[in-house]
Amino acid sequence: MAGVGAIQDLKFRVSYGLTGNQDISDFQYLARAESRDYVFGNTVAPGVAPSSFANPNLQWEAQKQFDAGVDFSLLGGRVNVTADYYVKTSDELLLNVELPGAAGASPTILFNLGEVQNRGFEFDIRTQNLTGAFRWSTDFNFSTLENRITSLGTNPGGGRNEYLGRGFFIAGQITKTVEGRPISAFWVFEADGIYQNFEEIAAMNRDGSTYQEGLQPGDIRFKDQDGNGILDDKDRIFAGSPFPNLFGGLNNTFEYKGFSLNVFASFSSGNKIYNSGRANASRDAYWNMDNAFMNAWRPGNTDTDVPRLASGGSHERNTRPSTRFLEDGSFIRIRNINLSYNLPAGFSQRLLLQAARVYVSATNALTFTRYTGYDPEVNSLSGNPQNQGVDLIGYPLPRVLTLGVTATF
């Protein structure tokens, strides 16, 4: 920059844009019919039944994005920084609204309603740390994210809309999508230790009500949030978000003579994951069980956080959606380590090659996380945004080691 030697480049940016999204199945605006057969005698009789309401007012989702940023570079171009603040509002969201059962047609209908806001900061810092014979450059980027639903509209019955998401095999809701919170916020019971004796169980009752049927010492205590002596959905709390509030990557490249080493890592933190896999392995004994149950509560082994072994109803109770299976989903993952060597020109020419390169690379080399499931990058969408952050136990990412040669003739 003229006049300021220290800063090579300084640029301020502001942008605003509008895009649309209409990525839903075709013909959702039409009233559709489906094949529904009956039988007469033992012969199947083809039948057709109307299956969904029409919504002629269906339109695009609109996304408005506002972005303000600054780019600058310092130290003769050795440090380049890009910083942005963004606010992205999605409007006229295409959401499935649940219809009352009395409507009789498909249980949901697609409406435009609802507004979601994503906002945060993004930083990208690229530096050339060493520029001699041994070169080292770094690219570090990170973003913050706050996801919040600003409006969900009202349902035909007049109530505020809310959506419940569930896990897999486990009965009961795990997430709740409501105004003022992130999409698919975790909405679970709070696990609060283990009942050691019947006195502790009786202490939960009020005015002759029974807090939970059939409790015994060794069962999990769920906190009575409203203190009314009955355990029901009013005792659920919002216990976290499936969205990380900080994520990013770090890419380091080292070069010396013909060698080149590239290490790329990414990280993510602030999100929680509901470990459906561990929850499923904590159910009744006719399923395979988590080996944590070697340490189950027993009269001689009471200092544990694993509940007693039981079958039938008790286990269903102890595995109800709760903070017991809600884990921190933060991780650092070394995604790629790539070491390559370009053979010197003289050497490769003796092999009758124009150029040759040898390399070894490891993909998904290392993951540091406290999450006990297979993979903290859960792939849980299954097409339903209300189920984010619920680990549907996808196949874990393998670690891959590749050795190779690239030869140019």
Partner 1 sequence: MKRSYQYLLALLLASAVSCQKLIEPQPQGLLAADVFFSDGRGALAGVNGAYSTLLQTGAYKEALWRLGDITSDDTDGGDGQLEDFSYDENSGIVSDIWNTHYRGIYRCNYLISRIPQITFTATDPVPPGRLLGEAKFLRGLFYFNLVRIFGGVPLITRRITQPAEAAVARASAEAVYAQIEQDLLDAVEGLDPVTRYRAGGEGYELGRASRGAAQALLARVYLTRQDWARAAQYAGEVINSGHYRLAPNYAENFTAGRGAENIDESVFEIQFSNASEAVAAYTTSYMTVPETGAITSGGYGNNYPTDNTNPPDTRAVNGGGLVQAYEEGDRRKAVSISNYDGKVNRFLANKYFNTVDIFRRSAANYPVIRYSDVLLMYAEAVNELSGPTPAAYEAVNRVRRRAFGLPPDSPSERDLPPGLTQAQFRERVYQERRVELAFEGHRWFDLVRTGRAIDVMIAQGRNNITQNKLLFPIPAGERIKNELLEQNPGYN
Say whether residue 20 binds partner 1 (CB under 8 A): no
Minimal distance, residue 28 CB to partner 1, in Å: 11
The minimum distance between CB 46 and partner 1, in angstroms, equals: 6
Residue whose pair of structure tokens reads 């019919």 in the numeric block: 33
- H-helix segments, 250-354: 276-280, 313-318, 345-350
In angstroms, the CA 83 to CA 87 distance is 14
CB of 9 or CB of 226, closer to partner 1: 226
- Rounded CA-CA distance 258/93 in Å is 53
CB of 206 to partner 1, least distance (A): 17
- Select the span of 6-14, 41-49, 241-249, 390-398 touching partner 1 (CB under 8 A): 41-49
Of 36, 206, 298, 370, the one binding partner 1 by CB under 8 A:
36
Q: Is 208 near partner 1 (CB under 8 A)?
A: no
Which of the ranges 28-36, 198-206, 296-304, 343-351 carries the binding residues for partner 1, by CB under 8 A? 28-36
Which of residues 12 and 40 has its CB atom nearest to partner 1 in the complex?
Answer: 40
Figure out which of the listed residues 16, 27, 169, 198 binds partner 1, where binding follows CB under 8 A: 27
Which residues 96-125 are close enough to bind partner 1 by CB under 8 A? 97-105, 107, 109
Least distance CB 160 / partner 1 (angstroms)? 10
Encoded tokens for 285: 């004994």
Q: Which stretch binds partner 1 (CB under 8 A): 51-59, 114-122, 184-192, 338-346?
A: 51-59
Q: Which residues contact 124 (CB under 8 A, 6 or more apart)?
A: 81, 82, 83, 139, 140, 141
Q: Binding partner 1 by CB under 8 A: which of 17, 21, 24, 50?
A: 50
Interaction with partner 1 in 215-234: which residues (CB under 8 A)? 232
Dihedral, CA of residue 236, residue 239, residue 397 and residue 278, to nearest 10: -40
Residues 143-182 that bind partner 1 (CB under 8 A): 155-159
- Reference 327, options 394, 389, 237, 236; nearest CA is 389
Residue 346's φ and ψ, nearest 5 degrees, are -60, -45
Q: Toward partner 1, which CB reaches closer, 6 or 45?
A: 45
| Binding residue (CB under 8 A) for partner 1 from 4, 18, 39, 294 | 39
CB nearer partner 1, residue 159 or residue 299: 159
Please pick, from the candidates 38, 286, 395, 409, the single residue that binds partner 1 as defined by CB under 8 A: 38
- What is the helix (H) or strand (E) element at residue 202, kind and residue range? helix 198-202
**Residue 144 near residue 116, CB atoms below 8 Å:** no
Coil vs helix vs strand at 213:
coil
H or E segment at 201? helix 198-202
Using CB under 8 A, count the residues that bind partner 1.
44
Give residues 274-303 in contact with partner 1 (rule: CB under 8 A).
none
Residue 78 makes CB contacts below 8 A (sequence gap 6+) with 127, 128, 131
Separation between Cα atoms, residue 190 and residue 186, nearest integer Å: 11
Q: Least distance from C-beta 149 to partner 1, angstroms?
A: 18
Q: In sequence order, which residues have a C-beta less than 8 Å from that of residue 354 and are 6 or more positions away?
A: 348, 408, 409
We find the least distance from the C-beta atom of residue 121 to partner 1, in angstroms, to be 38
Q: How far is the CB of 147 from partner 1 (least distance, A)?
A: 24
d(CA 59, CA 91): 11
- Left, alpha or beta for 197 (phi > 0: left; psi -120 to 50: alpha)? beta
Binding site for partner 1 (CB under 8 A): 26-27, 30-54, 97-105, 107, 109, 155-159, 232
